[in-house]
Structure 1
Amino acid sequence: MRIDIQNLHVAYAGRTVVAGAQLIAADGEITGIVGPNGSGKSTLLRSVYRHLQPRAGRVLLDGADLTTFTASRAARHIAALPQERGDDSELTVREVTAMGRTPYKRAFEGDNAADNDIVDRALADTGMKEHAARRFTELSGGERQRVLLARAFAQQPDVLVLDEPTNHLDVHHQSELLALLRARASTTLVSLHDLNMAAAVCDRLHVLHAGHVVASGTPHAVLTPELLAEVFHVRTAVIEHPLTGAPLIAYDHRGMTTPSAVHPPSQRPSS
């Protein structure tokens, strides 16, 4: 299923954080949201999974306005891994994962055999099945991240919305996660801090700067030295990754550019 964000304006704590954003996450693609700290990435994603109500604009799922969905209907289509998370202190790993089946349940309805199979598969996919009986609070940050991803997988959504999903993960588990996202072939909207990771995994990138989408397209089209200097204020060389062919960004940490743009960079054409 496809996500269309149309002219989205979102205010948070009395301040406009997203201003007129327009972007798409195409069916079956991994779409990345990148931008400097404070550019509005998390706020935009919170609007997609309905944690925040936009001041204006629409979020469409295959052409249907998400504001017309009930909470349970929306949750059957969209699963989120946000940055802000409760500790679920009294629950086991399996119980946290099984919460992903809640949108499909009536009140007080227990899990059936099909639910148990789905939970088992989600735990296996994220490498957490052997930890199923452990308390969530006993886990490391990276292990908790994988359990919460298992919960999202158990939800069996059409769309995954992931806000910095590689936080707390070591390099091995980062690579595993990105490979898993690619293998699932679900429509995925993900914010990533690491631009090389975004280049490696995303089919499409949207760059946010001061609440505006200032560039959209393939990683090759978007991640240019000129854009990186203008938006991130860094000096770079962009070369071809010798193993994958993806753009590989080399940073010159000695030659930071001076922030000069008071206004957002001009909108670049989509690719």
Structure 2
Amino acid sequence: MLRLEDIELHFNGRPLFSGVDLRLPAGARVALIGNNGTGKSSLLRMLAGQVMPSAGEIRWRDDASVAYVPQHVLDGSARSGGEQMRHALARALDSAPDVLLLDEPSNHLDRSARRSLLARLRQYHGTLLIASHDTALIDALCDTLWHIHN
């Protein structure tokens, strides 16, 4: 589904990643974990095509459709952060992408909305990559951990 080959990413002149080689097979359910500031969101933005790697190559399967929901959804509405996140998640899931990239999807959600998100993500059968600190969400959905450190 996805291959990263010798990826480097610099942010403000500081290297976040160097020499990264990863494979994300179709149907994988991966949690991207690590301390704040290690580059989880930057990696997701790079996979979503919003940030270009400083070096290396990203190879998606030619016909792969990708949906990305960022950590902070700002849609210009008067809705709360939780409502905006629920709307963005629903739109992404309704598009039935091959790959779903989620950055801290449960951050602004109340308990009921978290249960609903978990139920919807359990029904999603595509490839899932989630950056999250929500261990309950990770334990329920993911079978692989990618840990970013140092």
Normalising by structure 2, we get a TM-score of 0.88
2-side partners of 1:60 and 1:199: how far apart?
Answer: 28
CA distance in 2, matches of 1:194, 1:85: 18
* Deviation at residue 49 of structure 1 after TM alignment: 0.4
Matches within 5 A, 1:64-103: 77-87=65-75, 89=76
Gap runs ≥5 in structure 2: none
Give the aligned residue type for 1:44: L
Alignment-derived partner of residue 54 in structure 1: 53
In the alignment, which residue of structure 2 is the partner of 1:159?
A: 99
Alignment root-mean-square deviation, CA: 1.9
For residues 154 and 194 of structure 1, do their structure 2 counterparts lie closer, same or farther at Cα, with a shift above 3 Å needed?
Answer: closer
Whether contact under 8 Å (2:48, 2:68) holds in the other structure is yes
Report the 3-state secondary structure (helix = DSSP H, G, I; strand = E; otherwise coil) of the residue aligned with 1:150: helix
Higher strand share: 2
Shift of 1:83: 2.1
- Contact 1:9–1:57 at 8 Å: present in 2 too? yes
Counterpart position of 1:23: 22
What is the distance in 2 between the residues matched to 1:4 and 1:183?
25
Is the contact made by 2:2 and 2:25 (CA closer than 8 Å) also made in structure 1?
yes
Tell me the percent identity: 37
1:205 lines up with 2:141 in the alignment: no
Secondary structure of the corresponding residue to residue 200 of structure 1: helix
Q: CA deviation at 1:86?
A: 3.2
Q: Does 1:39 align with 2:38?
A: yes
Q: Which amino acid aligns with 1:82?
A: P
Mapped to 1, the partners of 2:136 and 2:145 lie a distance apart of: 12
**Which letter does structure 2 place at the counterpart of 1:14?**
G
Distance, in Å, in 1 between the alignment partners of 2:114 and 2:41 is 20
Verify the 8 A CA contact 2:73 2:81 in the aligned structure 1.
Answer: no
Preserved CA contact (<8 Å) 2:31 2:132: yes
**Matched residue, 1:3:** 2
Measured after TM superposition, the shift of residue 144 of structure 1 is 0.9
Output one character per residue of 1:175-221: Cα deviation in whole Å (capped at 9) or x when no partner: 221221121111111101123431221021111102xxxxxxxxxxx
Matches within 5 A, 1:159-198: 159-198=99-138
Q: Is the 8 A contact 1:164 1:193 kept in 2?
A: yes
Larger of the two Rg values belongs to structure:
1
Note the C-alpha offset of 1:162.
Answer: 0.7
Deviations 1:118-143 (A, max 9, x none): xxxxxxxxxxxxxxxxxxx2322211
The TM-score, its normalising length taken from structure 1, stands at 0.51
Contact 1:23–1:206 under 8 Å retained in 2: no
Q: Which has the higher helix share?
A: 1
Letter of the structure 2 residue corresponding to residue 78 of structure 1: V
Instruction: For structure 1, list consecutive stretches of 5 or more residues without a partner in the other structure.
Output: 65-72, 90-136, 211-271
In structure 2, distance between residues paired with 1:47 and 1:138: 29
User: What secondary structure does 1:138 align onto?
Assistant: coil
Q: Which amino acid aligns with 2:55?
A: A
CA shift at 1:17, angstroms? 1.2
* CA positional deviation for 1:37: 0.9
Cα distance in 2 for residues equivalent to 1:175 and 1:25: 26
Assess if the C-alpha contact under 8 Å between 2:74 and 2:84 holds in 1.
no
1:45, distance to aligned residue in structure 2 (A): 0.8
Question: Which structure is higher in RCO with an 8 Å CA cutoff and minimum separation 6?
Answer: 2
What SS class does the counterpart of residue 5 from structure 1 fall into?
A: strand
